[in-house]
Structure 1
Amino acid sequence: MSDTEAHPVRISSHPAQLQALEPVLKKVRTRVGDIPALLALAEDIGHAAPKPGEGSTAKLWELLASVTAVDVAAGRALEPHLDAVAILAQAGVEESKPGAWGVFAAEGPGLKLEAKRQADGNVVLNGSKPWCSLASRLDGAVITAYTEDNGRAAFAVNLNDPGVSCETPLWTSRGLREIPSGTVHFDQVPATPVGGAAWYFERPGFAWGGMGVAACWLGGTVAVARDFRTALAKAAENGREPDQIALAHLGEVDRIIASVTAYLAQTAEWIDAGSSADSSNAWSEALRVRATVAAAVERVQTVVTQNLGPAPLAFNEAYGKRMADLSLYVRQHHGMRDDAQLGALALKGDRRW
């Protein structure tokens, strides 16, 4: 059994507390590549999983990181469902449909989803939404749409409604092959408002959800680091001790992960203490967290691939899949554009230094 299979990812819990995650991780391992089974598991997990900002944010992030460490695509399937459950709870809206849920908030050129209130007071959606991951496999979604005043608001929708049609995208990437993200079209689809106008983007929970994604990236990074450590240990067992360069890189990986997990633990405590009640402060912290974890992902991947070379990428299916999945997943971070947002906030005085 490899390190990746054996251990949850620790952010702040005592190691003994993490043992509670092991049964879940065993189920994830048996369902890798089986999206319907993973979504059914996500629904089960969602009934008891912690919600951000309610005192156990670090435990939520440990769950997300640990599942993603087993399989990046499994984490990618779980995170949106837990985010949707949390959003609905924050808005005081009950899930109107059982099953697996997603969150669709992306925009794309030439596409627009509009929400209009009918004469009877009900809201319907018309138009198209891009980047809707697993839409054809999901039962419901929290989705953003333009309102009649051209603002954006969130709505809960039944994705099995006859007015919903999902495109099958031409997904050429090796990464996240199980989770293609295509365009979904809506034709007079009934929708339930989730929060008021602009609530979705202005609530602190928007930032918390963004940090939950970063926790998934961390889990994938830890798995890559474990792959590296396992490869060096096996080489040593076979009489080929790692040289100073390999050891230095393993040490670098160790301190990167230690610093990132400590930062996430501190941030989770900050959230649970109510310090992120100001949504602007919450978003600046989310930008810091996401950029810090994204930089860790890219550095660890670079170090590990330089040391292990082409062989595992060519011949180790689990390692190659993890690298491809994680490389695509982390591109949800917008790099220097997100840093530019953070710089603008720092210029206005939102900084810790």
Structure 2
Amino acid sequence: MNGNSPSHSPLPAMIRPVRISSGAADLDAIGPLLSEAQAAVGDVPALLDLAKTVGTTAPKPGEGRTAFLWEMLASVTAVDVAAGRVLEPHLDAAAILGQAAGLAAGEGRDFPELDGIRFDGAWGVFAAEAPGLRLEAKAANGGFLLHGSKPWCSLAAQLDHAVLTAQVEGGGRAAFAVDLHADGVSFADPEWTSRGLREIRSGTVHFDAVPAVPLGGAGWYYQRPGFAWGGMGVAACWLGGAVAVARSFTASLQRSADGGREPDQIALAHVGEIDRTLAALTGYLAQTAARIDAGGLSGGGAWREALRVRGSVATAVERIQTLVSQNLGPAPLAFDERYGKRMADLALYVRQHHAMRDDAQLGSLTLAGDTPW
């Protein structure tokens, strides 16, 4: 699909929606978002403003339009990997807050703590752990106060709020919503030296008796099916990055052909492999999104499916990057800023996947349960 619409200018061939299962009209509606994302590349405040705007209308996973949500994430990431990296956690935070409110309603209680949270700010999700760092949530005066440090907090100093996980009394971790402008919050210099995602600096945030709103109880954050759905949303972003790499490859081959140099059999074979890989992945994500919306992945099997999705997409990303890099050689890495940025950004982003450790977890779940094969 080309994303053209009477209401906006035609998008360049490289800036068009990534289709998973939606029809032409829905995909066409993504066009203006992609134009805005392209205009904001490298401008983090502009990308955060875009995320806030998108967050007011974007669908939430499990509510009937999961495939379209993933298409939005994939399509923005295909424009610029860092743009997708900004958008995804903001939308995930909105989904988590909605799920927490739904949990409270299902238990027949109100959730007045959320009344004091401004939803119009920019949100992050901080759930990583690191040796030597610990964040604790301690009960105090009928609420909770955060004490300690949280690592891998991307763009924390530029955000307004975050959903984060903290250790709770009695053991385990629970999720909390926190105002990042509150007294007692401080940001360590991330000393970010990465060549990938250079504008998405991640560092440690320190909390000194900072009030926080509990979202569910101990373990709820990880046990809810939305944790798996959010993990698959990240995989949709990885997919969008891989699609962009593939598009740059085919565009390069077409330019060479126009100049009289036809692709050889190896290049054609690699295009064919990339085509069937992406076709299989988009079909798989379409099927999985439909199962989520139908309620088929609302139980314990959700995380097992997320491991399959994330592993399949991560493997494909690395394979596509390898094929394209081998075919195009060093020149675009050395002289094409957009191509080099995309390759570096995507290589770092996909490392959120834990590779063989995630496969080992999937293997354990497979041995413990039924297999679809």
Aligned to 1:328: 348
Q: Residues 269, 160 of structure 1: CA spacing in aligned structure 2 closer, same or farther, 3 A cutoff? A: same
Q: Which moved more, 1:200-209 or 1:161-170?
A: 161-170
Aligned to 1:87: 96
Aligned to 2:35: 26
CA shift digits 1:15-51 (9 cap, x unpaired): 3320000000000000000001100110010000000
Deviation at 1:350, TM superposition (A): 4.0
Q: Which moved more, 1:44-53 or 1:93-102?
A: 93-102
* Conservation of the 8 A alpha-carbon contact between 1:52 and 1:60: yes
Deviation at 1:167, TM superposition (A): 1.0
Q: What SS does the aligned partner of 1:337 have?
A: helix
Aligned to 1:149: 170
Q: Distance in 2 between matches of 1:197 and 1:169?
A: 29
Aligned to 1:189: 210
TM-score by length of 2: 0.92
Q: State whether structure 2 residue 63 is matched by structure 1 residue 43.
A: no
CA shift digits 1:253-272 (9 cap, x unpaired): 11100000000000000100
CA shift digits 1:131-176 (9 cap, x unpaired): 0000000000000000011210000000011211111211111100
Q: What SS does the aligned partner of 1:17 have?
A: helix
Q: Distance in 2 between matches of 1:244 and 1:182?
A: 46
Deviation at 1:195, TM superposition (A): 1.3
Q: State whether structure 2 residue 308 is matched by structure 1 residue 299.
A: no
Q: Residues 298, 161 of structure 1: CA spacing in aligned structure 2 closer, same or farther, 3 A cutoff? A: same
Aligned to 1:114: 136
CA shift digits 1:326-349 (9 cap, x unpaired): 000000000000000000001012
* Conservation of the 8 A alpha-carbon contact between 1:81 and 1:102: yes
Q: State whether structure 2 residue 73 is matched by structure 1 residue 53.
A: no
| 2:74 pairs with one of 54, 65, 82 | 65
Aligned to 1:178: 199
Q: What letter matches 1:216 in structure 2?
A: C
Q: Which moved more, 1:194-203 or 1:32-41?
A: 194-203
Q: What letter matches 2:332 in structure 1?
A: P
CA shift digits 1:223-253 (9 cap, x unpaired): 0000000000000011111111111111111
Q: What letter matches 2:214 in structure 1?
A: P
Q: Distance in 2 between matches of 1:293 and 1:258?
A: 12
Q: What SS does the aligned partner of 2:142 have?
A: coil
| 1:132 pairs with one of 132, 135, 153 | 153
Q: Distance in 1 between matches of 2:370 and 2:223?
A: 17
Q: Distance in 1 between matches of 2:231 and 2:371?
A: 19
Q: What letter matches 1:19 in structure 2?
A: D
| 1:276 pairs with one of 297, 305, 327 | 297
Structure 1 segment 182-331 matched on structure 2, within 5 A:
182-278=203-299, 280-331=300-351
Q: What SS does the aligned partner of 1:111 have?
A: coil
Q: Distance in 1 between matches of 2:194 and 2:149?
A: 23
Aligned to 1:4: 14
Q: Distance in 1 between matches of 2:156 and 2:370?
A: 37
Q: State whether structure 2 residue 364 is matched by structure 1 residue 344.
A: yes
- Runs (5+) with no aligned partner, structure 1: none
Q: What letter matches 1:134 in structure 2?
A: L
Q: Distance in 2 between matches of 1:150 and 1:161?
A: 26
Aligned to 1:99: 121
TM-score by length of 1: 0.98
Deviation at 1:122, TM superposition (A): 1.4
Q: What letter matches 2:90 in structure 1?
A: H
Q: What SS does the aligned partner of 1:4 have?
A: coil
Q: Residues 308, 2 of structure 1: CA spacing in aligned structure 2 closer, same or farther, 3 A cutoff? A: farther
* Conservation of the 8 A alpha-carbon contact between 1:3 and 1:227: no
Q: Distance in 1 between matches of 2:238 and 2:75?
A: 10
CA shift digits 1:43-80 (9 cap, x unpaired): 01000000000000000000000000000000000000
Deviation at 1:352, TM superposition (A): 1.1
* Conservation of the 8 A alpha-carbon contact between 1:345 and 1:351: no
Q: Distance in 2 between matches of 1:14 and 1:42?
A: 24
Q: What letter matches 2:133 in structure 1?
A: L
